[in-house]
């Protein structure tokens, strides 16, 4: 069974189209979206349509998805993110608003669980940045692997039976017995790890292998579309920096 996991598309159609082309080559059995289809870039409705076309698909909510339909308070968003949400709210079709409104916060599979931010109070959209955050998430994690997104910064962390956590070097990991894993799958539409290429994750459950993948895309096209709208222009230039 091969899963393609992706998140934080953030209305960036060009990035998502490039990743979808990669999906076609990958013999994917199931698609899993960890939320934040919308917010920041210029094509929210188109990105929802392309996501929903993937089959079979499991999808959960991100903070921007819920904020775009009034289910999450945008007072804690930074001014640029807030402006993008207000723009997105005006763009979204009624049908797509209904779709975003009904997305759940987590989902469990056989040997893994998915959540946008963290397993502790998913509705609070906590970020996992520190070792303390990581250990706290493991306390709430009953499955072998937890996939998260939200920070737009991919990582692979393992935890041994004694509770020691370690960052796995590189972009690939073979899952070991007796270890648990926390994987941040990165962002398709607005990476923030200084690499502007779209980021997603493949999980081969038979081979017990997880890999973080990168795909370059037409950044200029996505930037031009943002510039042509009333969205904050910073949202265009940051795409080429991967910040």
- Please give the residue whose beta carbon sits closest to Fe ion in the complex: 36
Q: Please, which residue, 6 or 31, has the CB nearer to Fe ion?
A: 6
Q: Smallest distance from the beta carbon of 67 to Fe ion, in angstroms? A: 10
Q: Please, which residue, 152 or 225, has the CB nearer to Fe ion?
A: 152
Which H or E run contains 158? strand 155-159
Q: Smallest distance from the beta carbon of 207 to Fe ion, in angstroms? A: 29
Q: Smallest distance from the beta carbon of 29 to Fe ion, in angstroms? A: 26
The SS3 assignment for 211 reads: strand
Query: In this chain, which of 3, 8, 67, 69 binds Fe ion, going by CB under 5 A?
Result: 8
Q: Please, which residue, 36 or 83, has the CB nearer to Fe ion?
A: 36
Which H or E run contains 212? strand 209-215
Q: What residues between 13 and 72 interact with Fe ion by CB under 5 A?
A: 36
Asked if residues 38 and 100 have their Cβ atoms less than 8 Å apart, the reply is yes
Q: What is the rounded distance in angstroms from the CA atom of residue 60 to the CA atom of residue 202?
A: 17
Beta-strand pair 145-148/112-115: parallel
Which H or E run contains 4? strand 2-6
Q: Please, which residue, 9 or 54, has the CB nearer to Fe ion?
A: 9
**Chain contacts with Fe ion (rule: CB under 5 A):** 8, 36
């Amino acid at each position: 069974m091969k899963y393609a996991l992706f998140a934080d598309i953030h209305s960036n159609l060009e990035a998502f189209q490039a990743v979808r082309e990669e999906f076609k080559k990958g013999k994917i059995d199931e698609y899993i979206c960890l939320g934040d289809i919308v917010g920041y870039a210029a094509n929210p409705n188109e990105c929802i349509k392309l996501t929903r076309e993937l089959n079979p698909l499991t999808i959960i909510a991100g903070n921007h998805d819920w904020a775009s339909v009034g289910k999450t308070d945008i007072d804690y968003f930074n001014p640029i993110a807030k402006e993008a949400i207000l723009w997105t709210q005006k763009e979204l079709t009624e049908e797509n608003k209904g779709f975003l409104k009904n997305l759940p916060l987590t989902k469990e599979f056989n040997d893994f669980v998915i959540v946008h931010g963290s397993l502790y109070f998913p509705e609070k959209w906590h970020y996992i940045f520190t070792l303390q955050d990581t250990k706290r998430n493991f306390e709430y994690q009953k499955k072998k692997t937890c996939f998260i997104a939200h920070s737009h910064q991919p990582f692979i962390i393992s935890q041994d039976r004694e509770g020691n956590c370690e960052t796995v070097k590189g972009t690939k990991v073979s899952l070991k017995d007796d270890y648990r894993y926390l994987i941040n799958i990165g962002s398709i539409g607005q990476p923030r790890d200084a690499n502007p290429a779209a980021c997603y994750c493949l999980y081969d459950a038979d081979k017990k292998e997880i890999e973080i993948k990168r795909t370059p895309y037409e950044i200029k096209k996505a930037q031009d579309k943002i510039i042509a709208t009333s969205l904050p222009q910073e949202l265009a230039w940051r795409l080429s920096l991967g910040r």
